[in-house]
């Protein structure tokens, strides 16, 4: 490996925003470990054929710390270090609080918030000065939407975790930031009706949904920003500006 290459770990990197982050990292000449629960069924295989020496597809559930530790050890064994950690894996289950199944609540919080912490805990012993952790938040973590209590709570918690860890890790030169995507064309939004899409689009000052590649570009800039930590970076077409930036 050359000194210019970075080793990335991306959770939920097999589709949507995560896949775009992986593709951008590979295009920039880096090495990427892609974590998903079942990589054999995911889209990462096609990418791996073209980058078989610079991409690892690893099976691990972010809710299982033992699996995560095994995956991280595989990365260290293969490439000797870890430079960038992206917590992108996410689970969305909606429902108003009166009807929301508590099992759905717990699954969302376990994946989106506790899972991020477990990934960081597994990676942290191998992170050195200059390393970067980028957590992927959501607008709903700052702006409430009815029927989204579980997802909103998990993403708001991730914002708090980002702030706390940015201070905790600062003395070691490890940066922790939060990128906040707005409404983006992904598998999650593809099932929405045309009416719902039009309604959401009308809320966005730029008048359109974002592309996964646009989010990935900002993630890469944040990962490389050597004097940024504890920051919240919206990439939302101006959506958060309509109700105020996070404090």
Distance of CA 8 to the CA centre of its chain: 12
Number of H helices, E strands in the chain: 9, 7
Residue with structure tokens 């990935």?
216
16 near 191, Cβ under 8 Å?
A: no
DSSP-H helix ranges across 141-211: 149-168, 187-190, 194-203
**Catalytic residue ranges:** 151
DSSP 53-74: TTEEEEE--TT-HHHHHHHHHH
Q: Encoding tokens for residue 216?
A: 């990935």
Cα→Cα distances 167→39, 120, 162, 220, 226, Å: 34, 14, 9, 21, 15
Tell me whether residue 234 is exposed, middle or buried, using C-beta atoms within 10 angstroms of its C-beta: 0 to 12, 13 to 18, 19 or more.
Answer: buried
Residue with structure tokens 């930590």?
229
């Amino acid at each position: 490996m050359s000194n210019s290459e970075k080793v990335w770990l991306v959770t939920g990197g097999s589709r949507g925003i995560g896949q775009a982050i992986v593709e951008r990292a590979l295009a920039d000449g880096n090495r990427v470990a892609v974590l998903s629960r079942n990589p054999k069924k995911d889209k990462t295989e096609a990418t791996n054929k073209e980058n078989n020496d610079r991409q690892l597809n690893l099976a691990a559930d972010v809710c299982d710390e033992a699996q995560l530790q095994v995956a991280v050890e595989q990365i260290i064994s293969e490439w000797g270090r870890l430079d960038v950690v992206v917590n992108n894996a996410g689970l969305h289950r909606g429902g108003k609080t009166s009807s929301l199944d508590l099992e759905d609540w717990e699954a969302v919080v376990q994946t989106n918030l506790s899972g991020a912490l477990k990934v960081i805990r597994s990676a942290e012993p191998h992170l050195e000065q200059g390393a970067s952790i980028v957590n992927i938040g959501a607008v709903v973590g700052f702006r409430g939407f009815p029927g989204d209590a579980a997802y909103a709570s998990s993403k708001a918690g991730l914002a708090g975790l980002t702030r706390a860890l940015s201070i905790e890790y600062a003395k070691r030169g490890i940066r922790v930031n939060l990128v906040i995507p707005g409404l983006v064309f992904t598998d999650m939004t593809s099932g929405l009706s045309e009416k719902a899409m039009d309604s959401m689009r009308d809320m966005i000052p730029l008048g359109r949904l974002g592309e996964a590649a646009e989010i990935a570009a900002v993630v890469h800039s944040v990962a490389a920003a050597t004097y940024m930590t504890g920051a919240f970076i919206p990439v939302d077409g101006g959506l958060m500006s309509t109700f105020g930036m996070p404090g």
